[in-house]
Amino acid sequence: MEGLHSLKHLVLKQETDDILVIPSTVDELVQDQEGNNSEDPRKRRDKEQKQNKRCKKTKQWKIKTDSSKQKSDKNAHPDQKLYSCKVCDKTFSRNSHLTKHMRTHSGEKPFTCSTCGRSFSKQSALKNHMMIHTGEKPFSCDTCEKSFPSKPRLTLHMRIHTGEKPFSCGSCGRSFQCKAHLIRHIMVHTGEKPFSCVTCGKGFARRFSLIYHMRTHTGQKPFCCVNCGRCFGFKSSLTRHIMTHRSEKPFSCVTCRKQFTRKSYLLLHMKTHNGEKPFFCVTCGKSFSRKHILNVHMRIHSGEKPFSCVSCGKSFSRKDSLNVHMRYHTGERPFSCGMCGNSFTIKQTLNDHMKIHTDQKSFSCEACGKSFRLKMHLLDHMTIHTGEKPFSCGSCEKSFIKKGHLNVHMRIHTGEKPFTCETCGKSFIKKGHLNVHMRIHTGEKPFTCGTCGKNLVNWSLSMQFITFFQH
């Protein structure tokens, strides 16, 4: 009777600490317990074993139900973040996500490409990378049939056709097709440049800009032309260079039909037709068609000269000016005249020289009608009519027509004599004076008196000779 009472208690309680009793089986258990006294001991033992097995299964069912309940509780709160990063306090819903995130701090890249040896922090990134080697592009655009190695790349491409720009700047309202472009744009407002050069300290908003910049220090030029062997620091530069071998100029101006190797060159050229110069100097008001040209122009006002010659230490505001200057040290003269074989350090000098052969004088003086081959010669000539001498000496207030004349004059005050005779060591203010002096050593007398035929070292001395002897 005591066992029967305990079973009835189970029916009322429904659930104990260890087992869960299914109500539909309670009646069977009570009837079995009441008939236990009259049954054969062997049969009773068999029934007890069956009951034990039934209770064991019931217990397993309870454990399984509890675990399912826990999972359902987790699924009921999918946004719950349980795992936190100890470095940056970022939280994640799964431990595996935290493990992957920790690689951003540790720099660990356990997934390595067997073809090129490049490593990645995620297996999915390695899988996408392998498509570069296999050439596999399983995701195709339905509009233009262009293919991509990954679905996110296709999704981003589709925005070109749809015009969708879902990422907007909170400061200026400008929209972008991808989040990475928005992040870079925001740095324009914040002025943030998180990537710094360890050599010169210059900062950059983008990592690949820093990588390109580092090549100016290392001199690395990993992209080489298979036709002429010329190497470049950037792949885009090599691509443009290859077009020179093919004479390929795919971008044409609709106004004058001039062709260009790059679309950016065409866009800049178009500004010559419409006269657009949207970039203004706040100091002098001069306008420019390109922001880069404005930045270079601003160095005139700031006096900044970031490009220095490693041979003599002379500095320049422009890199191309430094490149031209270096040719004076190397003796390189890459531009040659096809008619007389004369060579020059810059192309513009060759173009000016060619006018000697054609006798072309395109620049005429409106005051006296005299013509000149070069515009700078006309400008120098115009000062004769205007009397203008814009370059003044700060020491003696003497004025000059050309800045070069002022620079030479300043050597009188500074005592600088940069031109030295290699034979006797005597120095001179002007190179022309050194050339005249060298004739003492060489014995050269290029000027001849037309009356008596006497040869003289320089023209001024010959004029003095003619005046003195009254030829």
Residue 339 has a pLDDT of: 84
Position 424 scores a pLDDT of 92
pLDDT at 67: 45
How far apart are the C-alpha atoms of 436 and 460, rounded to whole Å? 11
Choices 3.40.50.2300, 3.30.160.60, 3.40.50.11900, 3.40.50.720: CATH for 363-467:
3.30.160.60
Number of Cβ within a 10 Å radius of residue 296: 17
Instruction: Pull the structure tokens for residue 76.
Output: 């009921």
pLDDT score recorded for residue 209: 84
Four-residue CA torsion sign, 354, 356, 357, 361 = positive
Contacts of 422 (CB under 8 A, 6+ apart): none
Domain ranges, ordered by start, for the chain: 363-467
Parts of the chain with a pLDDT under 70: 1-81, 447, 449-451, 453, 455-471
pTM for the full predicted model: 0.34
Q: For residue 422, give both structure tokens.
A: 């290699």
Q: What is the pLDDT of residue 53?
A: 60
